[in-house]
Structure 1
Amino acid sequence: MDYDEVAALRRHSPAWRLLRADHAPLVVSFLGRVFVDDNVRSLPLARLSDLLDDTLHVLNDRLGAGTFPRPAKSYLDDWAGPEAGWLRTYYPPGSDEAHVDATPALEKAVAWVRSLPQRSFIGTESRLNTAVELLRQIVVGSQADPQLRLNELLQRRAALDEEIERLRRGEVVVMEPAAVRDRYQQFAGTALGLLSDLREVEDNFRFLDRTLRERIATFDGSKGELLEEVLADRRAIAESDQGRTFRAFYDFLLSARRQEEFQQLLAQVQHLDVVAGAAEGAALDPRLRRIHHAWLEAGERTQMTVRVLSEQLRRFLDERAWLENRRVLDVLRSIESSALAVREHAAGAPGTEVDAGAPAVVLPMERPLFTPRPPLALDSTLTVRGEGGEAEDVDVAALFAQSSVDTTRLAVAVRRALQQRGQVALADVVAVAPLRQGLAEVLAYFALDDAGFERVFDPRVREQVHWDGSDGQRRRADLPRLVFVRRGAPAGAGRGGAGVGGAAAGAAAQEEGRG
C-alpha cells in the first residue's frame, strides 16, 4: 500500500475513525460484547439504549461521575450517524420500531483490537498444511486431462492403502496435543471469521439494493430499458464469485446430513481433554458450541437482503403498470371530450353527422311470442314415499361423511421428531408417523403454524413422500423440500416460506400410483 492509499483510509474508513475516537474503549467493549460476542444481528433501539444506560451507570460509578455525562440515546445517535458509521438504524418490514445492527467496520475494529494481546500459543503447522492442500485442490481441480486427475486419485488411494495396512499391523499414530491445539485454534479463527465475513457480504448486497433503488427512482427512460439493466445486474449478482460461493455455503447449511456430521465432529473435538483444558481463549469460546446455528442465522439475513431486490423490482413493475393504465384512461377521456366538442359544433361548421356506425335490421318474426310459465310445486319435506305408499327414512349419512385433517396431530408428530435434533425433514416425519389421509395431509404439513417450530422451504431440492391409498395402491408425491426447525435454532430459507416460495410447494406435489 502506498502513502496516498493509507491516507485515504485514515480519512474515510469508519473502522479507523473508531480506533481514533475519544470513547473508543467504550464503543469497542460495549458494541463488541452486544453484537459480536453474542452474535446479535438486530436489536430494538430502545433495548440497546437500556443496555448502554446500565453500562454507563457502572462506568460512572467506577471511574467518576463526569466520565460519560451524556445520556445513552445521545451516544447511540452519534455512533449511528454518517460521521461515525458504526451502527445501522433501520425499520424491519411490518414494524414501526427502530432496530439497530452493527456494521462491518465495527467487526473489523473489534477483530483488530482482539488480535493485539500476546498469545501464549500460536500454531503454524495446520496453516501450512491447509495452504498446501488448497494449492493441490487448485492444481487438480483445474486439470482438464482425465489421465492426470486419475493419477492423482491413484496416488491418494495408494497412500490410504498404506495407512490402512499400518493400522492393521497395530501401528496407530496419535496426533500430539500441540498439533490438536494448533488445528483447533485455526478452526476457531476460521469459524468466527465467517460470521464477520457474512456481515460484510450482507452489507455488499445491501449496497447493491440501495443502488438499485436510486436507479429506479431517478430513471427517465422506458420500462423495457430499465428492466433489461436491472435484470442484468440481478444475474450478475447471482453469477458473481461472491454469489456462487455464498450459494454453495448456504446449500451446506440447508443439508441436514452435513449439519449432523458437523455437529458430531464438533462435539467429539470439544470433548477431547487437550481441547477442553486448553488455556487459549479461542478454545474456550462458548460461541463455537452453536457456531453452525449462528452461520444459519447470518446466512438467512443475507438471503433476506437478496429477496428485497426481487421485491423492489416487483414493486417497480406494479407502479409502472399502474401509471401506464392511468395514462391510457387519460387518453380515453381526452378522446371522449374531443368527441363531445365536435358534436356540439354549429350546423354550418365542417363535419358530418352520423346516426350510427351500422344499420340496425330487426325482422318482425325474430321476436318470440309470449309463453306463460307453468306453476312449480315445491315440497321441502325429507319424507320419501315408497311403492306401497309407506314413508321411508332418508339416508343423510353422506352429509356428515366429510373428512378434515387434524393439524394438532401433525404438529405433535413434528415436535416429537424435533426432540432428538434441531431440524427434521418432512420425509423423516412421515417415515415415523405415516400418512392417514393421503395428499390432503401432505398439504396440511406445508400450512402448519406452531409455536414450537418453524418451516423452511428449499424449492431447488426435491424429495418424495410415500403412503398407502385407500385402494391398497402405493402413492407417491414429488414436492419441494420442507424442513421443520425447532424454535430457538435459526431457520433456513425464508422463515415461514420467506425466501423460497412456500405457496408453490403444494402446487408442485404430484400423486401417482405404484405402477
Structure 2
Amino acid sequence: ALASEVPADFARVRAELEELNRDLRARILDDDGDRGDTLGDVFRGVDLIGDSDAGRSFTAFYDMILDPARSSQIDEWIDAVLQRPFAAQLTHDQKRRFRALLTEMETAGSEVHSTMTSLSRSLRHFVQSRHYEEHRRLQRLLRSAQQSAVAVATRRRPYDLLDLDLVRVGMSIESVAALRLHNPADNLVTEPVLTHDAGTVDLDELRRLVRESEIDMDELSDNVAATLRAHGRATIGDVLREYPATQGLASAVGLMVLATHHGHAIDGTEDIHWISGAGVSRRATIRRRLFDPAADEFTARPAFAPTGSST
C-alpha cells in the first residue's frame, strides 16, 4: 500500500513547489521598488525555491536515492522484506511493484527535480529580464480599474447603457469539417493542347508593324539633316513641309523630341500639319524650336534623299 502511494507523494511535492513559485512571483509584484526582500534575494542569486523547506527536503531525499551506497542498501532491505514469511501472501504484481520501488522513486524524483530546476530558472529570468516591472504595471492598472468600478458602482448599475463604443476583440471558431481541402487536380488542363505549325513571315509587313508601334527616329533625323543642308536652318514646321509625316502624329512627336534634345526655343509659335491614320488632316500650334545644324545627330547623316522626301 505504501509503495502504491509513492507517485501521489511526488505529485504532492511538485504541486507544493509550483504553489511556492506562484507565491514568490506574487510577493515580487507586491514588493515596493527594487529592494524588496524577495526581489533582492533573487537579484543576489538566491535560489528561493531550492532553499525553501519543500525544496531542501526533496533535495535531501533525491540525493539519498541517487547515492550508489544508499540505493544498494535500499535494494538489500527490499530483498530482506520479500524473504520474510508474510511476503508469501503477496501477489506476483505486488512483489514486482515492491521490487521496482527504488526505480519508480528515481523516475518520479527526476521529474520533480526537473520541475524544481525549471521553476528556479524561470523565476530568475522573470527578475533579471525585468519582466516583473511590466507585470507590476499591469497589476496596478487592473487594481485601478477595480477601484474605479467600485466607486462607480454606487451610481451606475452593471447593466446600464453607456454612451461609449468599445472595440470587441474576438476570433471566429470553425469546425475542421468546414474546411475545404485543396485539390491539385482542379488546376489540371483537361483539354488537349493545340499545336500550330510555324508559318512564314512577310518582312515588309513586319517593318510596317514596327513602324506603327515605334517612332522611326532615323527617318526623322535624316529629314532634319536634309532640310538643314538645303536651307541652313529649320524648325519643326519647316521639316514637315519638306517631308510630310509618314507616321502621322508619331512623326510630329518625334520631331519635337529631336528639337528638344538638339535645338533651342525661339520666339513665336508655328502651325504644323499631318495626316492621321484615318486619312484626316490634323493641325497643331506649337512653340517654335530651331534645330542645331552643328549637332552630331544631323552632321553625321549621309547626304542622300530621305525616305519621306517630297522631291
Q: Is TM-score (shorter-chain normalized) higher than 0.5?
A: no
Q: Which has the higher contact order (CA 8 A, sep 6+)?
A: 2
TM-score band (shorter)? 0.3 to 0.5
Q: TM-score, normalised by structure 2?
A: 0.35
Tell which structure's C-alpha radius of gyration is larger: 2
TM-score normalised over the length of structure 1: 0.22
